[in-house]
């Protein structure tokens, strides 16, 4: 950026009508400690670090924003151990932002996506509090947008954060809270006239019912979502909803309509264009996640041989950074092996799943493992089952 561009961006984020920043002031800071320069304060250094997407320590000393440098990163997501948060740095507290421009909204969107990827890698407990604060900030400044288009974009960004907060609550088994966040996402999507996000957020509520093994309640919500998704909504959303419907039929003991729903999900998935998939469903455009969800659906429909094939495909394709998803996929594989009465294979998959579930602190996956132990009761005297009991319940 030129010094003029730095000054313009500074004034957009931290406007001071009586003393706006100029290129000359940026120059003074940059040439310091030269004789013609002026020493920047720590607050100035931190704000410059945010603008430059670097560590304030590289300028002098302060806070690190290098995790936001998506251009300079070799991969789409590479951050350190500390959760990134503009909120904790004090730069996006609602009282400090008086004008919401597209550039500010872009930063909000980037932060949401960063939290999303950190959740994949390290679990919901790592980011739940930050996402809630991030969402609250966007809601508090939603009346400060500069154009109607920016307002709609901000509502969509807040809706994305709300549905993410819903998933984080699901992983913590806080299902009432999850539904509250999902209904907030629906409301924001309606205001933004975003049918895709509206349908998807309804689908999240459907998944809450699936976690309660209530197939009928799930289908009622998913059917409504599917009707809404029939009007120009991306194929990824429609495919994801049909896969969830297949799981619901499994809980109802209706394999025929369940397999039909799964077949339709696969047919629609073939039409998915990765460039049109919304960021909040970006994972579904990858073959690893389609295989993972297909395998889980097949276990619900008690088709274990086909499920095992799909789940091994998913494990071969899933990136190592998707720790919680790998754990869930291994649990599904263990369930399929129990259905096939292959107990040693089931215990091996479950043991690997438990190790990963502990890494992310996933209460949902830990609960699923305890439920799996109940399914293994007929083989309780087998050494592999005994070892799994000790690993899951005693360690």
Q: What is the pLDDT of residues 105-158, one digit of tens each?
A: 998 998 998 898 888 888 888 899 999 999 999 999 998 998 999 999 999 999
Between vectors from CA 110 to CA 109 and to CA 116, what angle results, nearest 5°?
Answer: 90
CA distance 302 to 306: 9
What's 284's DSSP letter? G
Q: In angstroms, rounded to a whole number, what is the distance separating the alpha carbons of residues 277 and 285?
A: 7
The dihedrals phi and psi of 385, each to the nearest 5 degrees, come to -70, -40
pLDDT at 279: 85
DSSP result, 334-354 = HHHHHHTT-HHHHHHHHHHHH
The larger pLDDT score, comparing residue 162 to residue 73, is at 162
For the chain, the distance separating the N- and C-terminal CA atoms, rounded to the nearest angstrom, is 53
Show the tokens assigned to 214: 């209530």
42 pLDDT higher than 90: no
Angle (deg, nearest 10), helices 148-171 and 175-191? 160
Q: Are 94 and 140 in contact (CB under 8 A)?
A: yes
| CA–CA gap between residue 40 and residue 48 (Å, rounded) | 10
Give the DSSP letter of residue 381: T
| 51/9 Cα distance (integer angstroms) | 8
Distance CA 66, CA 68 (A): 5
**C-alpha closest to that of 336 among 365, 383, 362, 375:** 375
Q: Is the pLDDT of residue 15 over 90?
A: no
Supply the mean pLDDT for the chain.
Answer: 86
pLDDT at 43: 78
pLDDT at position 10 is 86
> What is the C-alpha separation between 296 and 326, in angstroms, rounded?
12
């Amino acid at each position: 950026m030129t010094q003029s561009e730095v000054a313009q961006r500074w004034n957009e984020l931290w406007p001071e009508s009586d003393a706006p920043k100029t290129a000359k002031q940026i120059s003074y800071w940059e040439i310091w400690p030269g004789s013609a320069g002026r020493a920047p304060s720590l607050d100035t250094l931190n704000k410059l670090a945010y603008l430059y997407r670097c560590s304030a320590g590289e300028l002098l000393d302060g806070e690190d924003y290098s995790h936001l440098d998506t251009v300079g990163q070799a991969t789409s997501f590479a951050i350190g151990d500390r959760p990134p948060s503009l909120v904790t740095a004090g730069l996006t507290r609602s009282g400090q932002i008086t004008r919401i421009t597209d550039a500010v909204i872009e930063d909000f969107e980037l932060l949401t996506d960063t939290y999303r990827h950190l959740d994949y890698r390290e679990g919901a407990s790592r980011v739940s509090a930050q996402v809630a604060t991030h969402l609250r900030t966007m809601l508090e400044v939603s009346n400060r947008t500069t154009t109607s288009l920016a307002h709609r974009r901000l509502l969509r960004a807040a809706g994305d954060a709300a549905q993410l907060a819903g998933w984080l609550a699901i992983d913590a088994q806080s299902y009432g809270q999850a539904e509250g966040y999902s209904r907030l996402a629906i409301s924001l999507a309606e205001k933004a006239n975003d049918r895709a996000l509206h349908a998807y957020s309804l689908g999240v509520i459907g998944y809450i019912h699936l976690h309660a093994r209530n197939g009928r309640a799930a289908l009622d919500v998913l059917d409504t979502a599917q009707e809404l998704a029939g009007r120009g909504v991306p194929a990824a959303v429609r495919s994801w909803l049909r896969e969830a419907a297949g799981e619901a039929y499994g809980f109802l003991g209706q394999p025929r309509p369940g397999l039909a729903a799964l077949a339709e999900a696969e047919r629609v998935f073939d039409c998915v264009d990765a460039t049109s998939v919304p960021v909040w469903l970006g994972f579904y455009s990858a073959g690893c996640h389609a295989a993972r969800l297909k395998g889980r659906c097949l276990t619900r429909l008690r088709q274990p041989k086909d499920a095992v094939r799909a789940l091994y495909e998913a494990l071969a394709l899933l990136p190592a950074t998707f720790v919680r998803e790998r754990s869930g996929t291994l649990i599904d594989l263990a369930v399929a092996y129990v259905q096939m009465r292959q107990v040693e294979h089931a215990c091996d998959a479950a043991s690997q799943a438990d190790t990963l579930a502990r890494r992310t602190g996933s209460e949902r996956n830990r609960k699923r493992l305890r439920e799996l132990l109940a399914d293994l009761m007929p083989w309780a005297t087998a050494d592999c089952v005994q070892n799994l009991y000790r690993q899951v319940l005693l360690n």
